Structure 1
Amino acid sequence: MLVGGVLLGSGLTAGLFALGDVARYAGSASLALLLVGGALSLLDWRLHTRHVLQRAHRQRAHARQSRNLLKTLIETIPAPIFYKDAEGRYLGCNQAFSEYIGLREMDLVGKSVFDIAPQELAITYHQADQELLAAGESQKYEAQVRYANGQKRNVVFHKGVWRSADDKPEGMVGLFLDITELKQTEAALAKARDNAEKASQAKSEFLAVMSHEIRTPLNAMLGMTEVLSESELNDEQRKRLDLLHRAGESMMRLINDILDLSKVEAGRLKLELRPFDLEKMLRAEIGLIADLAQEKGLSVTLRLDKNAPKRVLGDTHKLRQVLSNLLGNAVKFTDQGEITVSAAQVDGAAGEANLIRFEVRDTGIGVQEEHQQEIFAPFAQEDESITRRYGGSGLGLSICRSLVEMMGGELAMQSGGTNGGSVFTFTVPLPKAVMELAVEASAAEARREQIVTATPTQQPQADAQPARLLLVEDAEDNISLMRAYLGKQPVELIIARNGQEGVDAFREQPVDLVLMDIQMPVKDGFTATREIRELEAEQGLAPTPVIAVTAHAFPEDIERCVDAGCDAHIPKPVRKKELLELIGRYANGGGNG
């Protein structure tokens, strides 16, 4: 006590001198040493205690700083955040969560979800918390919450487990994000998409109906002009008849362009890849415009690069449609000179993936530079004088560009300006056709050519046995046209005015060939054809050729004809030459023999 009093009551130095005096007074050196050693131990204890207290103070300050930082961070986040213990009791939250539940944090602590949420929602939240603690992994799920004002909102929860130092689950922390507006936007977009799809479908159906309704009278009009052209006419009459025929053909092209554009916009076109002979395809397209070019005194030249592959794999129908449009424009807008069609393999594209560059060059009226991009827009032409002089819908190049892009290529043009001619160039990837695939697909292509498009060359022989033809058609104008077409042919024509009459007539007497319309009252052509095939199967008869003669000209309509059992398809307006060729091919067993 004496030593402690000395040390505590004086400074350190004074205390040590005091210990020395005490030791001398006591007259014992050993006692002096003992007292000094005790004093030093006490000094060491005091210094250690001070260090521990200072460290504890720093740790408490650091902990307060960490808590303040964490609290600030949590409060800064606009999303409601909460944390609970393992029993589901709230330990705290941020201001956003307090506003959501309408409780201060101090009033929330110690409560469970059953104290603050409706029973049905509380059960859902509690089950999710139990699953979270059992799994020990983070959760993310959508749910509904009810705000303090009673409003229900859609939210997405994010929850995680927080653990003790020995990795035991101590509780959970979670937040939720309000996605009500997002859900409303998604619903609005889904509704808009659904409405757009319905509108697109309605437009497609409308165009299909209009196509049928326009093609039907056009069939009679163009057909009768063809019949009249075989009559003896004076020059003025023939001139007027040609004018009528050209007007009908122009209307037909306009209908086809609008239908094509509609299918492109609706995304209904699909690529149908088949092997084909590149040179043969190009010569076929040139052959289609050769007569018209010759009438205008134009020469048409094909330049095929020697390195271009012979057989390639591609959508020959769409490729021919692009070339047909470009060649048609070249002939239309060129009054003198020449048209050159070129095809070459692009350098560096050797191997399986051939990039073929096609070029259609003319010496026509050209396009001014400022209009060279505009002409690819729908319904666009350089100016009104072009439309008045040359006609056309202005859809062709827009359709061409869409088809080329669909095939993975690009379409561009260059022109020397007014009267400087034009060069249209497009590239399309056309892989080389594998030999085995080419042989197999060629057979399928030949079969499809026979079934779907059927453009043979044989015509009825004048001295052949009259063929019995069953015409199933409801439109009187088209019946009259067929009679006019077949009046001088060695055929016996039997008329049925709807699908049911057609089936009944087929059942009553055998025929050599059926010309089947599709859209008819009582029973349509698809159903009638299927029933005819069923009758043949029941009676053990050989299949009778059925040719669909219809204003339904969409590719899917042609496929439906094939699926129903038709052997060939010819679209309205019907050309006399094509009809007679088909009859010559299929009548008297020619098609199925």
Structure 2
Amino acid sequence: MVQLNGAVDHATSPFFFPRADSLAVVLDPTAVSAEPPEAVGPVFDQQHANEPLLPFDRHVHESVYGKDPTGTPEADPPPQPESFHNAYLFPSLTRNERLRLTVLWYYTRLVTRNDQLMAKLQDMITLVQKFMGWEFAIVGILDEAVYTRLATANLPLGKLPRRESTCSHTINQTPGSVFSVTNMAEDWRFQSSPHVKIGGLRSYAGTQLRLQTSVGEEVALGSLCIASNTVQKPLTPEQKVSLVSFAAMFTNELVTAMRQNRLGVKQEMTEMLMELQSQEFARRDDFEAAVTGSLRTIYPSATLSIYHTTDNVVRLTEALTLPFSALHAGLWEDTALIDEAIKSENHCQLGSTKVVRAMAGKCGRFHIFVVVASSEVRHVFDDYDLWFVDRCAELIGDYLQQQRYQDALRAKEAFLRCITHQLRTPIHGVLTSSELLAEELASRNGSLKSHNGGRGDTAMCYVSTIQRSGTELMSTVNGILKLNSWARHKAENIKPKSYDLRHLEAHVMSDLFAIYPDYHQKDVSICFEIQLGDQESVVTIDPILLKAMLQPLVINAIQACAHGTVKVTIKAEKSSLQLEVIDNGSGIPLEDQTRIFEPFEKGSVHARGAGLGLTLAHQDARSLGGSLSLVKSREGVGSHFRILLPGISFSAGPAIPPTENVTKSLPKRFHVLSGSGKCPTLLSHLVRHLLSRGFTKSVEPQGSLIIMEKPTDNEPSMEVLKSLQEPHMIICVTLEDVPPSGVLSNVKHLLPHHQTFAVSGPFYSTRLDQVLSQADRQWSVSSTDPPRKMASTDTTSTIQSTHPENIPLHDLSISPPATKSAPALKALLVDDNSVNLRVLRMYCEKRGIPFLLATDGDAAIEQFKAAAVTEPVDLVLMDLEMPRCDGLGATAGIRAYEKANSLKPCTVFMVTGQDSPGDRLNSFEVGANEYFVKPVSLKQLDKEIARYFPKA
């Protein structure tokens, strides 16, 4: 009842939260809820109680029921056969008794425990009794030995012997018919039956609760009947039809209840499987035990086994084995045993000590089976059961496959760990030795030129080639290792932190030219445009992955551009970070565009690298929840790549103070002379850079720094330059390669009083700062000379000094160290490789750092202890993998000794060929301060040592 004006008493009003799979049953308030009895009784015919019923016999059946029982008048039973000698007619088994019982056991399993169903059946049987008008109404099921009353009207519930139950005769009749006896006391078949003679039953009419199986055969689960202790009139045809219809309704309720029950069981199975999948098990035995536990929950009385085989033979018991192919879709039933049991033991509930049914699931590709075997005759397996067993077997197969995969990964990682060390160690020796050699050559370059006719430059060129080749080889090795370890360590690889995107250009380009120093020779403009507001410059991201994504795109663009432009744009798109790399290079053929992100794919077999850059960048983008895509590309036009990283939060970065001027003598304003328009992007990039460095743009050329494209003799810009009487500094931008002489010969001859400076690629901020600094030095020198001397200044040397070819090799790698008069630190060098140890020794000798040597961890600890007494070690360069005691053990031993003796902690640099996250973490846990992966640039060592020892 809905109360419109009154308050609802929430204390007594029940809260209704519906469930879609629940049944809403309206019960008859007059219905009596009674617990069904467990015992069979009463048993009136004790004489035959322990005798089984006979199998179905068509001749006998027709002699006692008639050939067409539906047309036989109830008052006129067939004549009594001469062979009939029993006190009353005993029922027989049905034509298809095993099939009937199997269907019955399946659809009525635990039916009496379903309270909702029992209540609904009780309501329905009461309605039947009232509609039919007879004294009693009963609905029940008939198993091998017992007729169970599920619901009754005016009779108690009960379990009756099948032999004595009149309904046992009903299930043997023609499906859809009504078996009725108007006056049982006058019928020779039933007049002496216990229910008539003792119970007083007089009239009976019943029909089957029937089902049609998947093969089209009908079976009877039980019966719906009406009865009376007084003689009733025969049922009319309409009443018979009604009774059959009521029976169909009862059957439908039983089937529906079973299906709902099975759906609940399947839900339980699904939850168990999900629980198994969500857990991690270190040992196979533990996982198999968990699977067995789940199976045991569903099949508490079954025999469970998981076993290996080599011949696809399923072992159901120790004595019973079958080929897996002999099972019917994984199911097996001992039909012969069940048939024999039904035939000989149908007077009691069937049971067996032998396995009668079994299910088997194969564990994937492995010859391992999960077997559920049952000796419970009444327990029938269905497709849900088989699905559950198959899924359990699949989980075991998946687990074993995963274990094999993990074993293979561990084997692969062990191999990669070994090969990494074996590759990086010699490459480290080559690169660091070449760096030391470059320093030595640089320091003697002047004398080599004077005495050897420039052979010093030739030697430097050879060393540069060694460095480039070694660096490229190391890059390929690193790419292969990263590709192979990515899937296993991708979660560990992501280390987000606050990062200022305004530093991205410097970080990307410095790393790029450290890996590929010969890209300094490329006549390419690399323009970084950071289109971010003041409140958007800082993001939380893994900066290493961000650089790793962007660098391959920039490298590819540089390789594609002989004399072109690479534009890198960084901008915020709503809550996403977008990075775009656009070049006007060679472009990608249409047929190659679908495979560019595949490993080891290159546009040309002659292209540099292993073809892993885009693959790794694509993986890096996906690991950050974003994407890397090729927006468009046309041959001869260029390519456009886009990185999109959603879910990025932007914030304001610290205010960056104005960049310190890299010039002191050049004018602080500049003027742009229009030219051929061949490189407007380069020119505009230079303009933006000058503005960012504090220069101002002037509309007048007089007194300004002149920037222009490379002029020709007849260009109007040449007339402007001729009109300028005072000397000016002219910076010419060109896409062409700039040789040591001749590019600006026309300017030199036509405008001898001006200072000219040619700039070719690559154009990026650090490079342009270097150009301005060199131009400033040239202008400073020229401006201090008398005017007559200025006019004869040779611009050829100026062009040479600006060209990338003439940047000394040591400027690209490491600056020669300053001589130290009193070193402020002492080093301990630890490495089991003699080449690496010799390189470290030469490095320290070059820097004037006193050192101790050790070839394993134990020796390192002893050296450290011995030195602690007189001259403590300040810096340890420690290898990771060594015999006897590795770098982790040595570092831990050193830290323990320091703590025990209250010593100031030394600085430990782990220098190793291993680059796994686990090695890094373990190194820091034992006390390492830094972790360097070979090959380590000596310039990087200089930088880190200076950071830890600023006074050294």
Q: TM-score, normalised by structure 2?
A: 0.44
Instruction: Measure the CA separation in 1 of the matches of 2:633 and 2:462.
Output: 37
Aligned partner of 2:352 in structure 1 is: 116
Q: Which moved more, 1:192-201 or 1:535-544?
A: 192-201
Instruction: Measure the CA separation in 2 of the matches of 1:411 and 1:106.
Output: 70
Instruction: Measure the CA separation in 2 of the matches of 1:548 and 1:275.
Output: 26
Change (3 A) 1:432 1:73: closer
Is the Cα contact below 8 Å between 1:220 and 1:481 reproduced in 2? yes
Instruction: Measure the CA separation in 2 of the matches of 1:466 and 1:425.
Output: 50
- TM-superposed CA distance for 1:557, in Å, is 1.9
Q: What letter corresponds to residue 487 of structure 1 in structure 2?
A: E
Higher helix share: 1
Aligned partner of 2:623 in structure 1 is: 406
Instruction: Measure the CA separation in 1 of the matches of 2:239 and 2:333.
Output: 34
Aligned partner of 1:99 in structure 2 is: 335
Is the Cα contact below 8 Å between 2:633 and 2:640 reproduced in 1? no
Instruction: Measure the CA separation in 1 of the matches of 2:246 and 2:340.
Output: 24
Aligned partner of 1:578 in structure 2 is: 940
- TM-superposed CA distance for 1:589, in Å, is 8.1
Pairing partner for 1:154 from 360, 372, 397:
372
- TM-superposed CA distance for 1:263, in Å, is 1.9
Change (3 A) 1:296 1:116: same
Instruction: Measure the CA separation in 1 of the matches of 2:896 and 2:951.
Output: 19
Instruction: Measure the CA separation in 2 of the matches of 1:173 and 1:54.
Output: 39
Question: Is 1:519 paired with 2:881?
Answer: yes
Instruction: Measure the CA separation in 2 of the matches of 1:427 and 1:497.
Output: 48
Aligned partner of 2:428 in structure 1 is: 219
Instruction: Measure the CA separation in 2 of the matches of 1:96 and 1:215.
Output: 60
Alignment of 1:412-491 (within 5 A): 412-432=629-649, 462-491=820-849
Question: Is 1:251 paired with 2:473?
Answer: yes
Change (3 A) 1:552 1:517: same
Aligned partner of 2:559 in structure 1 is: 332
Aligned partner of 1:357 in structure 2 is: 578
Aligned partner of 1:207 in structure 2 is: 416
Structure 1 unaligned segments of length 5 or more: list them. Answer: 1-47, 80-87, 89-94, 123-142, 160-171, 440-455
Question: Is 1:502 paired with 2:863?
Answer: no
Q: What letter corresponds to residue 622 of structure 2 in structure 1?
A: E
- TM-superposed CA distance for 1:358, in Å, is 0.4
Q: What letter corresponds to residue 102 of structure 1 in structure 2?
A: I
Q: Secondary structure at the match of 1:154?
A: strand
Change (3 A) 1:549 1:96: closer
Q: Secondary structure at the match of 1:197?
A: helix
Pairing partner for 1:492 from 850, 853, 856:
850
- Deviations 1:293-333 (CA, angstroms, capped at 9, x unpaired): 55322222111223471211112211111112212222233
Alignment of 1:60-459 (within 5 A): 61-62=244-245, 99=335, 102-103=338-339, 106-107=342-343, 109-112=346-349, 115-118=351-354, 153-154=371-372, 175-176=381-382, 177-178=385-386, 181-230=390-439, 231=441, 232=444, 234-266=456-488, 268-270=490-492, 271-289=494-512, 294-307=520-533, 309-346=536-573, 349=574, 354-382=575-603, 386-388=604-606, 390-432=607-649
Is the Cα contact below 8 Å between 2:332 and 2:358 reproduced in 1? no
Instruction: Measure the CA separation in 2 of the matches of 1:244 and 1:157.
Output: 78
- TM-superposed CA distance for 1:461, in Å, is 6.6
Q: What letter corresponds to residue 309 of structure 1 in structure 2?
A: E
Change (3 A) 1:534 1:68: closer
- Deviations 1:129-187 (CA, angstroms, capped at 9, x unpaired): xxxxxxxxxxxxxx9679xxxx994279999xxxxxxxxxxxx9864433555544443
Change (3 A) 1:243 1:111: farther
| Cα RMSD (Å) | 4.0
Instruction: Measure the CA separation in 2 of the matches of 1:408 and 1:303.
Output: 24
- Deviations 1:518-567 (CA, angstroms, capped at 9, x unpaired): 11111001111111111111111111111111111223322221111011
Is the Cα contact below 8 Å between 1:157 and 1:175 reproduced in 2? no
Change (3 A) 1:100 1:473: farther
Is the Cα contact below 8 Å between 2:524 and 2:566 reproduced in 1? yes
Instruction: Measure the CA separation in 2 of the matches of 1:460 and 1:529.
Output: 31
Is the Cα contact below 8 Å between 1:404 and 1:426 reproduced in 2? yes
Change (3 A) 1:344 1:257: same
Is the Cα contact below 8 Å between 1:356 and 1:428 reproduced in 2? yes
Change (3 A) 1:507 1:234: same
Q: Secondary structure at the match of 1:102?
A: helix
Aligned residues: 458
Q: Secondary structure at the match of 1:375?
A: coil
- TM-superposed CA distance for 1:243, in Å, is 2.5
Change (3 A) 1:414 1:157: farther
**Which protein has greater RCO, CA pairs closer than 8 Å, 6+ apart?**
1
- TM-superposed CA distance for 1:508, in Å, is 0.7
Q: What letter corresponds to residue 861 of structure 2 in structure 1?
A: V
Change (3 A) 1:459 1:59: farther
Question: Is 1:530 paired with 2:892?
Answer: yes
- TM-superposed CA distance for 1:427, in Å, is 0.1
- TM-superposed CA distance for 1:68, in Å, is 8.9
Change (3 A) 1:295 1:203: same
Q: Which moved more, 1:266-275 or 1:56-65?
A: 56-65
- Deviations 1:384-437 (CA, angstroms, capped at 9, x unpaired): xx331x3210111111111111111111114443332211111012532679xx
Is the Cα contact below 8 Å between 1:375 and 1:397 reproduced in 2? yes
Change (3 A) 1:187 1:580: same
Aligned partner of 1:549 in structure 2 is: 911
- TM-superposed CA distance for 1:467, in Å, is 2.4
Change (3 A) 1:584 1:490: farther
Instruction: Measure the CA separation in 1 of the matches of 2:376 and 2:337.
Output: 18
Q: What letter corresponds to residue 918 of structure 2 in structure 1?
A: E
Is the Cα contact below 8 Å between 2:332 and 2:359 reproduced in 1? no
Q: What letter corresponds to residue 116 of structure 1 in structure 2?
A: S
Instruction: Measure the CA separation in 1 of the matches of 2:429 and 2:375.
Output: 68
Instruction: Measure the CA separation in 1 of the matches of 2:512 and 2:536.
Output: 24
- TM-superposed CA distance for 1:67, in Å, is 8.7
Q: TM-score, normalised by structure 1?
A: 0.68
Instruction: Measure the CA separation in 1 of the matches of 2:336 and 2:522.
Output: 82
Q: Which moved more, 1:195-204 or 1:501-510?
A: 195-204
Is the Cα contact below 8 Å between 2:427 and 2:935 reproduced in 1? yes
- TM-superposed CA distance for 1:359, in Å, is 0.5
- TM-superposed CA distance for 1:514, in Å, is 1.1
- TM-superposed CA distance for 1:368, in Å, is 1.0
Is the Cα contact below 8 Å between 1:506 and 1:532 reproduced in 2? yes
Of structures 1 and 2, the larger Rg is shown by 2
Instruction: Measure the CA separation in 2 of the matches of 1:154 and 1:365.
Output: 66
Q: Secondary structure at the match of 1:203?
A: helix
Is the Cα contact below 8 Å between 2:333 and 2:358 reproduced in 1? no
Instruction: Measure the CA separation in 2 of the matches of 1:117 and 1:539.
Output: 75
Is the Cα contact below 8 Å between 2:815 and 2:939 reproduced in 1? no
- TM-superposed CA distance for 1:49, in Å, is 5.9
